[in-house]
Each structure stands twice: as C-alpha cells, then as structure tokens.
Chains A and B, each alone.
Chain A
Amino acid sequence: MKFLLNLYLHAADLPGEGFDHEEFLAAARQAGELISAHAFADPSISAVARARDGVVTVTEGPYLQTSDHVVGQYVVDCESRARAVELATLIAGGQLGGVEIRPLMDSAGMEM
C-alpha cells in the first residue's frame, strides 16, 4: 500500500529550519519502503491556474491561504497503514505542525 506523507508547517515559521529526517530516511530506505521525497518551495511563489466557461485566469500566490501549509512530501510503500503511521512518527517532530498519512489510490481492485 502506498501512502503520501504530507509534512505541515505553520505558515508563519521560517521555511526549512530544524528538519531532521535522518532516522526516517534510514528506516524507510533500508526496509525498501521509500519511493520518493520532495521538498516544496514556499507557496508564496506559487501560481494558480483556473478555467471557468472557457476563460483561463492565472493568479499569483497559493490556492489556499491557510495557517499551515505543506512543505514537503514522502511517498512510501508499506504493508499496512499502521506501519506508515509508525514511519510518520519518525518525522513528526521539531518545527512541524504535523504529518498527514494519506493513502494513495491503487489501480487494482477486487470484484464485489
């Protein structure tokens, strides 16, 4: 099962400070569970594209103005949700507001 770990930070905090994911990275890599890792740039430099009734608009800035935003993501492949939560707890310290464990959709399914 694949999970996206969303790392949330208070928007007021200085980006990128106090991250220590060594323990998580070592654990997830050695176990063969880490698929990818992305650090996000600050949302203040994002742009948002919209299309309404054939009219396209592009605005500067984030889609949502929120008190917390996603600053990075890991994708892991674990055998259970419990294991993904366990891995997330290894990151969820320091400055981070929290880590969201979000299951990814699978292209496979069983007939019902």
Chain B
Amino acid sequence: MSTTEPLGDLLRELVPQVLGVLLRRYGGFEECEDAVQEALLAAATQWPAEGVPRSPRSWLVTVASRRLVDQVRSEQARRRREVTAAAREAPHAGLAPAPGDGSPSDQDDALVLLFLCCHPALTPASQVALTLHAVGGLSATEVARAFLVPEATMAPRISRAKQRIKAVGASFTMPSAQEWAGRLDAVLHVLYLIFNEGYTTSSGPDLHRGELTAEAIRLARMAHRSLPNDGEVAGLLSLMLLTDARRAARTGPDGDLVPLAEQDRDRWDAAMIEEGTALVTDAMSASPLGPYQLQAAIAALHVQAPRAGDTDWEQIRILYGILTRIAPNPMVTLNHAVAVAMTRGPQAGLELLESLDGDPRIARHHRLHAVRAHLQELAGEYAAATENYRLAARRTTSLPEQRYLRDRVHRCTDSAPDVPGPLLDLPSSASSGKRSGG
C-alpha cells in the first residue's frame, strides 16, 4: 500500500479505532484484523479517486464489517460444501457481540490493541511485526521493507503471531491490575525496539527503515494520550524525541557515523528538543522514577549543552548511577563508565569497565572494546587503544560502525608517539581531553 500523505496518516490514525470497534462487536482478532487491512486497501484506492468520505471512520467500520461478514459467510459456505448436505447450519458464531460490549473511548481501544499485539505469548520479533501491522496499519509488504526482509519472510511472521493470539485465547480487554506493570513494560519495549530499528539507519539506501522512528514516535504519542499520567510512557516518548532530534547531525555526507561530541549542534531539531525536554521534566516531577525517564533525562542533558565541552557530565554520571541501581544492565554500565571517565578521569572509567569482563552478556561485545579503546585513547594509551579499536572493528556486525572504528584505528596509529611519552595529565573534567577528529 503506497498511500500518499496525508491520506496515509489519516488512515493509519484510524486503524486502531476501527479495529477496536470490530473486535468489540464481533471478536476474533485474526479475522477482524484481515478485514481492517482489506478496508484500508479499499480506502487507499477509492478515496483518492472519489474523495475522502465525510466520516472516514464509519466508512472504514462499514467496509471492514462487510468484509468480515463476507468472510464468515464464505467460510460457512466452504464448510457446508465439505460436510454432507444434512450438516446443521453453522450459527453466526463469529458475529455475536463480544460480552461486556461497552463503548470505551478510541484511546482506550488503541491501548488495548497495543497490549494485545505485545502479548507475552509472542516473541519480541512477532510483537514488533504485529504491532506495526495491526496498530500501525502498515501492510505486510511495508513491514517487510522496513526490516529489509522479503515479504515471503515477513507475512508468515505476522500471520503466525495472529494465530498465536487466537490460540492462547487472548481477549480484547485491558490487562488486570496484577499484570498491568509487566504488560505495559512489554508494550514500551516493543515501541523502543521499533524506534531503535529505524534510528540505526537514517540515511542511504535504507530510508524506509527511517520511517520506523516516525512510526514509533506516533505509537508512543498514542500510548501517551491514553496514559497521560504514566511517567514511563512519557519518558519513552521523550527519549525518542530527544534521540531523533539529533538525526540530521548523526551522519556525515557519506553516511559515516558522526559521534555525539563531533556533531554539528545547529542541525539538531530544536522543536523536538523542546518538546522532549518538557515531557521528561513534567514526568519526573509527577511520577515515580523509571528507566525510560532516566534515559530521557540523560539525553536531555546531552542536547542542552551548546557545545560538547559544556555537557554536564557530573549530572549524567549521577543519573547513570541511579539507572545502574534501578535497572542494571551491562549497556548501562558501559555508558556509566564513559560518564565516570569524563568526570573523574579515564582510569576511573577503565576500572569500572573491568567489572564487565566477566559478564558473558557483553564480554565479547564490540561496544565494550570500543568504549575501552576510547577511554584508553583519552588516557594517551594509544597502543592499547589501537588494539581494542581493532578488536571492536572485527566484532561489530554494522558496516558504518566498522568504518568508524577503522578510522579510529588509523587515528590512534597516527597519534602514537614514536617514543612513549608520559601519560597525559587530564583535568578532572576530561571533556577538554576529547580531541577533534582528523
């Protein structure tokens, strides 16, 4: 489906609402979802020619319902042909209104749909695919293109996810109070995965993937509208905005990755920074602290600095300390070590990294080698830094990261003094020790 904006925006905004109505009226996730996709396709072909109907939402509900009824009828006809003529008439099983058919708001529908698509019975990859398809309204082709896999690979992933939802008997209802926190975590994690998938590629031949960040932000906004008082939902939306704000500056003209400290800050998106900063500031003053809020707060500190040298590393170090306490994970420790190095000198950062050497989750990961190399470079230990950059370049599976790491190897080799000199005496705020690229 290649709907032209803004028609595509309008359609996709309506997807969760229309699917919500159908699910409450008829039940049967797989069937309803198929019917909505067909209605979307019909709208994408008819509306540009015939004009957008006065109530696009009821148009879609009507068309989707008709498709659903047709589907059920032809399914019944097929069954009738298969069994003997004496077989009893199949009741309109799929068409009975679901019990407790109230009229919750569209916003609740969108949220319930997110919970359903991020059901714990699915693998994260299936949750991601199904969320983009059923809540985001992307066709299987579009999801496949965004993930750089053939449609023949993606379509079964989506349909198996739908079958799984049906098999475990997941219903179109809000999770119970006991389940709530865990289920919301799953939703936020899926939105975060979608965002990251898009963020890692924002230029070159993979532009389609970049659209995923926009989609993730749209879905996070939707979740935030449904749960305006949840600090972590706000935190995630803020983190996405503050990260995406740097998009234009994070790749050079050749698609090379530009590290944060060397980015042209004039190219950062001021409106996104303002919105993201306001979101996380409000959230942190009104809600219990959580990992997304903390990461957003750290992102805000980075983008608030007019120059890399003005970055408030002390505050960042404190926030990473808290993050390590409430949501420990080796990637957090890596970033924490950088902040420690920037405030207490590279040796202190390197000491913190040693705690990761015995952690099988990250001991062989290229990021550990890259961070170690970076801190060794700051400390003037060029030979060791070269070795670790080299190791990182070998172990990364990302082409642009590999290019970046190769450049660092060359840079360190050029910097290495012929005769070993004394270690650099870095000031306690080591940001000035960060040399510009060259």
Contacts and interface: CB of A to CB of B under 8 A. Distances in A.
Interface of A: 1, 29-35, 77-79, 103-112
18 contacts: A29-B156, A31-B156, A31-B160, A32-B126, A32-B160, A34-B153, A77-B147, A77-B149, A103-B397, A104-B397, A105-B397, A105-B399, A106-B398, A108-B206, A109-B404, A112-B257, A112-B259, A112-B404
A103 B123 CA distance: 20
A1 B149 CA distance: 10
Given A30-B156, A105-B399, A106-B398, A111 B150 contact: no
B161 to A, nearest CB: 8
Contact of B200 (A31, A104, A108): A108
State the 9 A-B residue pairs at the shortest beta-carbon distance, nearest first: A32-B157, A108-B200, A109-B398, A109-B400, A108-B201, A109-B401, A79-B125, A32-B156, A111-B257
Contacts of A106: 200, 397-399
User: Chain B contact residues: over half helix, strand or loop, or mixed?
Assistant: helix
A35 B150 contact: yes
A108 B157 contact: no
Contact of A105 (B147, B158, B204, B402): B402
Interface in B95-145: 123-126, 129
B373 to A, nearest CB: 10
A104 B149 CA distance: 13
B249 to A, nearest CB: 9
B260 interface: yes
Nearest to B155: A32
Given A1-B397, A30-B160, A107 B155 contact: no
Contacts of B148: 107
B189 to A, nearest CB: 12
A111 B209 CA distance: 16
